[in-house]
Amino acid sequence: MPELPEVETTRRGIEPHLVGRRVDDVVLRRRELRWPIPAEIKRALIGREILATRRRAKYLLLDNALGSAIIHLGMSGVLRVLPASTAVGRHDHIDLQLDSGRVLRFTDPRRFGCLLWQAAGETHPLLAELGPEPLSDDFDGARLFRLSRGRRGPVKNFIMDQATVVGVGNIYAAESLFRAGIDPRRAAGRVSLARYQALAAAIRDILNYAIERGGTTLRDFLNPDGLPGYFEQELLVYGREGLPCRVCATALKTLRLGQRASCYCPRCQR
């Protein structure tokens, strides 16, 4: 469920319950997630105050004086703040028990998510090679243009590559390409600067708007307050195969790029 807007929505939802709270215990019910939870995690977290929450790409970081817990939600991960007495479910893998009497609970049926640790001043290898944040000044169409020269792969794969720009997953890639009028199959190296500028603007606008709307609701995504995101109703192409394009009424098509479904308008996107 989580692309950048969902991760940011989660961060904003949990932050007020975490900052200034001390972690009294860390309960690990399953250590084998995408990667094993590092052995030092308890020592690093227990007894210390959470000083800040941050987001880098689709990773959430919880900072204390020693460093940062790094959480990725994978495909199906959810973080919620709950009363400590809340019954534990089958896929509730991690609890951070807080001195407020609540727990930060990580639930992840598919276990593609992770909990890692980086000491203060260090950068975890997984975070080291990431591209710029799409909502920062480091990201623009000129960068996309420059990076894409000579690339023969589809532009959709190119913008979903976290080394190009972070946070753009399958949904928002499809949506932003539609908004920019670019066929997702087009070779990345054959998109003009002007069109990359339109694409960069589309990515920025869509992500900002989706964050405002509390993320996308697909299946059971709930933000940490238990409320659904409201962006789904406004998706223009994702999941709309066969339905009329909202701009030109042509039936939308789906193709497969790099194992991922890609819905697009054969008329609006070239």
87 binds DNA (CB under 7 A): no
Collapsed DSSP state (helix, strand, coil) of residue 29: coil
Look-up of token digits 């991690």: 94
By CB under 7 A, name the one of 60, 126, 191, 236 that touches DNA.
126
- Residues 194-233 close enough to bind DNA by CB under 7 A: 216-221
Shortest spacing between CB 227 and DNA, in angstroms: 14
Residue 81, exposed/middle/buried by CB under 10 A (0-12, 13-18, 19+)? buried
131 binds DNA (CB under 7 A): no
Q: Give the count of residues interacting with DNA (CB under 7 A).
A: 42
Options 22, 204, 213, 260, the catalytic residue: 260
CA distance 2 to 78: 9
By CB under 7 A, name the one of 85, 121, 152, 242 that touches DNA.
152
Minimum CB distance to DNA smaller for 31 or for 48? 31
13 binds DNA (CB under 7 A): no
Sign of CA pseudo-dihedral 203, 190, 178, 130: negative
CA distance 252 to 142: 30
Shortest spacing between CB 240 and DNA, in angstroms: 12
The alpha carbons of the chain give a radius of gyration, in whole angstroms, of 20
CA distance 135 to 132: 9
Q: Is there a binding annotation on residue 270? A: no
By CB under 7 A, name the one of 150, 226, 233, 242 that touches DNA.
150
Structure tokens at 103: 């727990």
CA angle 163–210–170, rounded 5-degree value: 45
Q: What amino acid occupies position 147?
A: L
Shortest spacing between CB 40 and DNA, in angstroms: 19
β 102-107/92-98 pair status:
antiparallel
The window from 36-44, 48-56, 135-143, 144-152 that contacts DNA (CB under 7 A) reads 144-152
Structure tokens at 65: 């004086």
- Residues 36-65 close enough to bind DNA by CB under 7 A: 57-58
Binding site for DNA (CB under 7 A): 1-3, 32, 34, 57-58, 72, 74-76, 90-91, 109-112, 126, 150-154, 157-158, 160, 162, 169-171, 188-189, 216-221, 258-261
Q: Which residues are the active-site residues?
A: 2-3, 58, 260
Q: Which residues are annotated as a binding site for DNA?
A: 91, 110, 151
